[in-house]
Amino acid sequence: MIAIWVRRTVDWSDEEVVDGQLRDELRGQVDLWNASFTMPFHLFRQRVREIAADNHAAVEGAVCADWEEIPEGALVLPVDDDDWFAPGVAGELAAAPKAEAYYWGPRWLQVERNLGHRFYVARVRLLPWTPGQEVFATNNYALVKRPGVEALATSHAVADRWFKAGAKERVRRLPGSLSLMNRTLGSSTALRWKRVPITGEELLRRFRRYERLYDGPAPRGLAWSEPYRRRMAELMRELELAR
């Protein structure tokens, strides 16, 4: 069995539920969003979640399941509720030699924060072993479910430390672009990078750049993402500035 497991699921359609689960450090940024746009933050994130859910359901040979439903020995693909997989990722995993875990090169769909970040992202794409780069990113890995592995699935940072601390020989690298991290305008990392909250001026600048992001050509090797990028483009067109 190969299972897609969405970590930290939130019912974004219910504003009260979202408000109750919102981390304190993000409240100011959500308030800024709601004052800046006609579409409330929670509804934007719900739409993003729906797009990702349709992507997950389209993965051939995999099922979407809660952690408790996944049997021991199954392969688990952890993912956040806004990120996507290639439709053939399960087939690639099924055909690979047995290992405790698998990973492939991370890819992002995002607006870079500045010129330095743009150069860094390009360098990582060309040189995956760039110093400081996480090998295990948000959704570019899979793990065999076994006792003690839930922490690695829950946090890619924990999984990355596990890999670098001596697990390299038990892990296999797969070729190709098998997933995409969709770092939207509503992502926590876009609204608050390294604990620095976004300003209103910066939010509006990034909004203009995000309006163009999803209308561009598919990133190299990611043609499969076209239907989901198109839906994100439609969503960005619906996101209007408050008057």
Q: Can you give the pLDDT at residue 128? A: 54
pTM exceeds 0.95:
no
As given in the structure block, the two tokens for residue 37 are 């746009």
Residue 7 in contact with residue 79, Cβ under 8 Å?
Answer: yes
String of DSSP letters for 158-222: HHHHHIIIIIGGGEEEPPS--EEEE--TTSHHHHEETTEEPPHHHHHHHHHHHHHHTTSPPPTT-
Closest CA to 81 of 20, 9, 150: 9
Cα 176 to Cα 209: distance, rounded to the nearest angstrom = 28
Of 139, 149, 161, 128, whose CA–CA distance to 59 is shortest?
A: 139
Per-residue pLDDT at 218: 82
Task: Give the Cα separation of 181 and 164 in Å (integer).
Answer: 22
- According to the model, what pLDDT value does residue 124 have? 59
Question: Packing angle between helix 27-36 and helix 41-57, nearest 10 degrees?
Answer: 100
What are the pLDDT tens digits along the chain (243 aa)? 999 999 987 889 888 888 888 887 888 899 999 999 999 999 999 999 999 999 999 999 999 999 999 999 999 999 999 999 999 999 999 999 999 999 998 888 988 765 555 555 656 556 655 555 778 999 999 999 999 999 999 999 999 999 999 898 999 999 988 999 999 999 988 887 666 788 889 999 999 999 889 987 888 889 999 999 999 999 999 999 997
Q: Which of 243, 242, 236, 238 is nearest to 206 (CA)?
A: 236
pLDDT, tens digit (0-9, with 9 covering 90-100), for 20-58: 888 878 888 999 999 999 999 999 999 999 999 999 999
Rounded-to-integer distance, Cα 12 and Cα 53, Å: 13
- State how far the alpha carbon of 28 is from the alpha carbons of 25, 32, 170, in Å: 7, 6, 43
